[in-house]
Amino acid sequence: MPAMKTKISCTLVILGLLLSAASGVALEPGDKAPPFVNLDLSKHHVLSKNYLGRGWVILDFFATDCEGCKKELPVVERLYRDFADSGLEAIVFATDRGGAEVVAPYFQDHPTNLTVLLDHYQVTVKKYGVEEIPSLFLVDPDGLIVHKEIGYTEDLYRIISSIFGS
């Protein structure tokens, strides 16, 4: 019975988060990062409360058929590797509408140590007002967006690492 209650509460939390999806208001530095709940590639629900407000987080919106996203991913991996000791987490939202069928084979061929979440219904895309990919948000330990990068830029590593440096 307690297990049943937990399941029901979990479902309600997930439904609530889904229903609170904002529709396309672009977020800017200074805004609070909205909560999210998405499936990972093992089909487990991942809740933002385990990340946001707990340390630095990079949120990277990606798609397997987006060239700029593919260029950006190794930079995010490098940032994660270099700053994991400072508590940096990095989450990749795979926005492919084909979902796990498309995304899982891609990451089998291109393994990553980043947390990959499925956003095939683009619920998190809408919450963050993402219109272009790649879009990257750096969120500080208070859960505030401190930097947003739209499109791939070769300066990405320098920009993000300088924020950590400061």
Partner 1 sequence: MKTLLPVLLLLWAAVSPFAQGDEERSLTLLYSGSLNGNLDGCDCKGNPRAGLVKRAAWLREHGNPDEYVLVDTGDLLDPYPDPALSEAILDTYLELHYVAIAVGDQEFANGLEAALEYRKRYPLLANNLTLCPDENRCIFFSTTAQIVERAGIRIGIFALIDPQVFTLYPEELKCKIKCQDPEAAARNQLLYLDEQQVQATVLLYHGTYEGAKSLARAVNGVDVLILGHEQRLIEPHRIGRTLLASPGEEGNRLGVLTLKIDSRGNIDYDHHFRLFSWKEDPDDPVVRLRIDRYRQVLRGRLDSQ
SS3 assignment for 3-63 = HHHHHHHHHHHHHHHHHCCCCCCCCCCCCECCCCEEEECCCCEEEHHHCCCCCCEEEEEEC
126: contact with partner 1 by CB under 8 A: yes
Shortest Å distance, C-beta 21 to partner 1: 7
Number of residues in contact with partner 1 under rule CB under 8 A: 31
53: contact with partner 1 by CB under 8 A: no
Shortest Å distance, C-beta 59 to partner 1: 16
How far apart are the C-alpha atoms of 78 and 155, rounded to whole Å? 13
Stretch of 27-35, 49-57, 81-89, 149-157 contacting partner 1, by CB under 8 A:
149-157
Nearer to partner 1, 134 or 143 (CB): 134
45: contact with partner 1 by CB under 8 A: no
Handedness of CA 71, 77, 79, 82 (dihedral sign): negative
Evaluate whether 19 touches 127 at the Cβ level (below 8 Å): no
Stretch of 36-44, 58-66, 83-91, 136-144 contacting partner 1, by CB under 8 A:
58-66
Q: Using CB under 8 A, which of 40, 107, 153, 157 touches partner 1?
A: 153
Go through 67-94 and write b for each residue having 16 or more CB atoms within 10 A of its CB, e for each that does not.
ebbbebbebbeebbeebeeeebbbbbbb
150: contact with partner 1 by CB under 8 A: yes
Q: Which amino acid is at 33?
A: A
Q: Which residues bind partner 1 (CB under 8 A)?
A: 18-19, 21, 23-24, 63, 65-69, 71, 96-99, 120-123, 125-126, 130-134, 150-153
